[in-house]
Structure 1
Amino acid sequence: MITKKIEEIEAFTGQEGTQIKQIFSPIEANNAIRYSIAHCTINPGNNSKPHTMKTSEMYYILQGNGIMHIGEEQKQVKQNETIFVPPMSKQFLENNGKIDLILLCIVDPAWRQEDEVSE
């Protein structure tokens, strides 16, 4: 059994300006999974940089609210909401709330730097 505590995972700043804690990827799970899952934080008034992924993504909002931008669409999103981001979609998430916007990001297949293009 492999378990992790969010508070014990070292954070890094993503290319898109978020604080990211990589929870699991195929490497940490002995290649038993093909996706990656990360815990992401966007501070109030900030947003991720517009970017495109070759892979699909799923965001699950744990705390806060914001505006999700996918292509020409935008939608207000909040706690307990899930967002599907299709592959090759220009996207960014904006925190227009007063508290940190915290979410889980699931990328399938697993996130790789070469699959992400910042705008």
Structure 2
Amino acid sequence: MNERFFVKDLDDKGFFVARDGSILNELFHPEKENLPLSFSIAYGMVEPKSATKPHRLNQPEIYLFLHGQGVFRTDADRFYPIKAYSLVYVPAGCLQWVENPAEEPLSFLCIVSPPWKAEWENEENL
């Protein structure tokens, strides 16, 4: 077997503000880590009393919320309360955004397949 283990710590150097306004840190991305993965996984955060911009990806996403509570919105009329350990599946092309009305950050893991690419976040998707 020619596979290798890979361990990575979440640190301050990898954080960036995504175009939707969330704070992200890509944990495992096959192109950046040279790993044989069909998905990418990122740690994300929405600051207290804020929200991400409505956006859509052409790929499905899965969110696992780790800390905090808020609201996951999929269009103007539908919303889902979320808290730590809530899981959300977002179909490809679905309008989505996250609201954090709380006094503490809302954190999550986001899995995208195929792996996320920055160019997917263009003006027509925000």
Deviations 1:36-62 (A, max 9, x none): 100001111111111010000000000
TM-score by length of 1: 0.92
Map Cα deviations across residues 71-92 of structure 1 (whole Å, 9 max, x no partner).
Answer: 3421110001100000000100
Match of 1:76 among 50, 71, 81: 81
**How does 1:9-48 map onto structure 2 within 5 Å?**
9-48=13-52
How far the C-alpha of 1:17 sits from its partner, in A, is: 0.7
**Larger proportion of helix:** 2
What's the RMSD between the two structures over aligned residues?
Answer: 1.4
Question: Is the Cα contact below 8 Å between 1:9 and 1:23 reproduced in 2?
Answer: no
Structure 2: where are the runs of 5+ without partners? Answer: none
Q: Give the superposition deviation at 1:98.
A: 1.6
TM-score of the aligned structures, taking structure 2 as reference length: 0.87
1:31 to partner: Cα distance: 4.3
What are the superposed Cα offsets for residues 12-49 of structure 1, whole Å, 9 maximum, x if unpaired? Answer: 11001111100011114424101010000111111111
Mapped partners of 1:56, 1:99: distance in 2: 27
**Aligned pairs (5 A) from 1:1-119:** 1-7=5-11, 9-71=13-75, 72-117=77-122, 118-119=125-126
Whichever of the two has the greater Rg, that structure is 2
Query: Paired residues, what number?
Result: 119
Larger relative strand fraction: 1
Distance 2:44 2:119 in 1: 20
Give me the whole-angstrom Cα distance separating, in 2, the residues matched to 1:87 and 1:47. 21
Unpaired segments ≥5 residues, structure 1 = none
* Segment of structure 1 superposing worse, 97-106 or 2-11: 2-11
- C-alpha contact 2:19 2:121 (8 A) present in aligned 1: no
| In 2, Cα distance between equivalents of 1:8 and 1:2 | 19
